């Protein structure tokens, strides 16, 4: 779907593997998350793997956010969007919207909800269950901060079900911690304590240090609300060590404030005041206001980025429209040329058909003439054949008659020759008889020829 910028699948898999490892470390060691994601970014840059660059920036931003470096986190999120925009990876952009919503979570609930909603729409479009589940968690947290606890619990339950389907035990623990916090606000302390203790056990098994610190903080609030000061102090002490090891400034401030509440409720006001001084000599309201200003300034930068992205899209659309126009014009010109060629071809075909029709007519006329000539010749041949038959018949009759007429004189000649051979007749008489027979034969032939010629139109000279 997206142009990654490279074709080396081995490099892609290696970079993605490092980035995933960095992401999975976010709840254990955000510093390691930043370290490994930075390594993945360097590798992706060498191979021009655009999606890898975007995801590495996003994970670095997540690590910075867990260390409360919100300006750095937002810079990385904006950089991630730039890379994802180039590959049209809208699913990944939705993840970044979720991350930006997390930055607003402590200062502007409506703004956070706005980004969560945008991210949820994209996640549902691409049917990304992990992202949908995370967004339900975040939306539930917003609802809880707005004191809509029933809606928050509903979202947490939906998230838990989805996390079970995709087998994400670390995120299930996060949901349990949020549910415990919601039950605490609802003053259902027994439910809250039970689910938080179960979450704590699972978080320890998974070595989720950030989650353990948050669970302990929530659990200490449950104990404080029940005036179980010993349990609260023990839980706070344990959780503060995690917060300090994580170097999480906001989490340490939250623990200092919880220690202040514990000391205040126990009536130890001097100790309570000391915790307030430790909290960076500023109360919670001032800290939230300061953060709000910083995140607002960063938000302005993000708006500018969005506007620039929109302008780039408009320019790209204009270029596309221009290209489409000239492409359409070219296609139209080609179609016009094709139509002209078809018209010319049709005209040529018509002329050819006309010429063929004329030739067919000429051939038909010649055929008729040939037929007439053939019939004439056939008639002549028939006439000649009939005439020849008649002449042949007459010749047969003439031959028969001639042979009959001359047979007698010839027989006489044969008798004279016989007499001469046997010396039964003298020579002079023999000659006279022979002459007489010859003349008789000649007269018979002349007489027969004349008869045949006069009566039957025979020409003896042409027979």
Residues in the chain: 463
Please, which residues have CB within 8 angstroms of residue 174's CB and are 6 or more apart in sequence? 27, 137, 211
The whole-angstrom separation of Cα 415 and Cα 437 is 11
pLDDT attached to residue 48: 93
Q: What share of the chain is helix, strand, coil (3-state, %, to 5)?
A: 85, 0, 15
Residue with tokens 């000539």: 373
Q: How many Cα atoms occupy the beta-carbon half-sphere of 84 within 13 Å?
A: 20
* Three-class secondary structure of residue 306 per DSSP: helix
The whole-angstrom separation of Cα 119 and Cα 141 is 15
The whole-angstrom separation of Cα 173 and Cα 218 is 13
Q: What is the pTM of this model?
A: 0.55
Crossing angle for the helix pair 284-421 and 249-265, nearest 10 degrees? 140
Please, which residues have CB within 8 angstroms of residue 5's CB and are 6 or more apart in sequence? 47, 48, 49, 50, 87
Crossing angle for the helix pair 50-66 and 90-104, nearest 10 degrees? 10
Q: What is the pLDDT along the chain (463 residues), one digit of tens a residue?
A: 445 545 578 889 999 999 999 999 998 899 999 999 999 999 999 999 999 999 999 999 999 998 889 889 999 999 999 999 999 999 999 999 999 998 888 778 888 999 999 999 999 998 999 899 999 999 999 999 889 999 999 999 999 999 999 999 999 999 999 999 999 999 999 999 999 999 999 999 999 999 999 999 999 999 999 999 999 999 999 999 988 888 777 788 889 889 989 999 988 888 888 887 776 554 444 444 444 444 554 455 455 555 655 665 666 667 667 777 787 778 788 778 878 888 887 888 888 788 888 888 887 888 887 778 778 788 888 888 887 887 777 777 767 766 677 777 777 878 888 887 888 888 888 888 888 888 888 887 787 777 766 655 444 444 3
Gyration radius of the chain's alpha carbons? 62
pLDDT attached to residue 277: 75
The DSSP string of 53-104 is HHHHHHHHHHHHHHTT-HHHHHHHHHHHHHHHHHTT-HHHHHHHHHHHHHHH
Whole-Å CA distances, 221 to 177, 198, 203, 312, 360: 12, 16, 19, 50, 110
Contact 458, 394 (CB under 8 A): yes
Q: How many Cα atoms occupy the beta-carbon half-sphere of 23 within 13 Å?
A: 15
* Three-class secondary structure of residue 146 per DSSP: coil
* Three-class secondary structure of residue 299 per DSSP: helix
Query: Angle at Cα 189 formed by Cα 183 and Cα 190, nearest 5°?
Result: 110
pLDDT attached to residue 140: 92
């Amino acid at each position: 779907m997206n142009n990654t910028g490279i074709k080396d699948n081995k490099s892609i898999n290696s970079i993605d593997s490092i980035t995933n490892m960095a992401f999975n470390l976010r709840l254990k060691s955000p510093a390691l998350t930043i370290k490994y994601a930075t390594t993945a970014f360097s590798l992706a840059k060498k191979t021009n793997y655009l999606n890898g660059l975007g995801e590495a920036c996003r994970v670095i931003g997540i690590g910075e956010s867990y260390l409360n470096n919100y300006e750095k986190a937002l810079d990385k999120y904006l950089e991630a969007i730039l890379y994802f925009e180039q590959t049209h990876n809208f699913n990944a952009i939705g993840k970044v919207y979720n991350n930006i919503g997390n930055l607003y979570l402590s200062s502007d609930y409506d703004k956070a909800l706005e980004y969560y909603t945008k991210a949820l729409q994209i996640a549902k479009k691409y049917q990304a269950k992990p992202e949908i589940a995370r967004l339900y968690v975040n939306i539930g947290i917003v609802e809880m901060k707005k004191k809509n606890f029933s809606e928050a619990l509903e979202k947490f339950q939906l998230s838990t079900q989805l996390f079970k389907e995709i087998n994400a035990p670390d995120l299930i623990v996060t949901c349990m911690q949020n549910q415990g916090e919601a039950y605490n606000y609802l003053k259902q302390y027994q439910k809250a304590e039970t689910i938080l203790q179960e979450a704590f056990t699972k978080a320890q098994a998974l070595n989720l240090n950030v989650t353990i610190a948050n669970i302990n903080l929530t659990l200490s609030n449950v104990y404080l609300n029940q005036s179980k000061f010993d349990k609260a102090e023990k839980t706070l002490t344990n959780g503060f060590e995690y917060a300090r090891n994580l170097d999480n400034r906001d989490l340490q401030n939250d623990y200092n404030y919880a220690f202040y509440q514990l000391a205040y409720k126990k009536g130890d006001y001097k100790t309570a005041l000391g915790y307030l001084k430790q909290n960076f000599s500023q109360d919670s309201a001032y800290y939230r206001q300061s953060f709000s200003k910083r995140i607002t300034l960063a938000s302005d930068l993000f708006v500018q980025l969005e506007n620039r992205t929109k302008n780039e899209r408009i320019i790209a659309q204009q270029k596309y429209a221009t290209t489409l126009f000239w492409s359409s014009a070219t296609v139209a010109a080609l179609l016009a040329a094709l139509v002209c060629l078809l018209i010319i071809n049709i005209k040529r075909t018509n002329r050819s058909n006309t010429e063929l029709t004329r030739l067919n007519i000429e051939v038909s006329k010649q055929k008729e003439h040939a037929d007439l000539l053939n019939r004439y010749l056939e008639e002549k041949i028939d006439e000649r054949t009939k005439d020849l038959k008649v002449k042949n018949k007459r010749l047969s009759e003439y031959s028969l008659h001639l042979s009959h007429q001359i047979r007698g004189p010839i027989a006489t000649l044969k008798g004279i020759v016989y007499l001469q051979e046997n010396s039964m007749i003298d020579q002079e008489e023999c000659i006279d008889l022979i002459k007489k027979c010859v003349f008789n034969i000649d007269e018979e032939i002349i007489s027969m020829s004349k008869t045949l010629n006069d009566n039957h139109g025979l020409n003896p000279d042409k027979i």
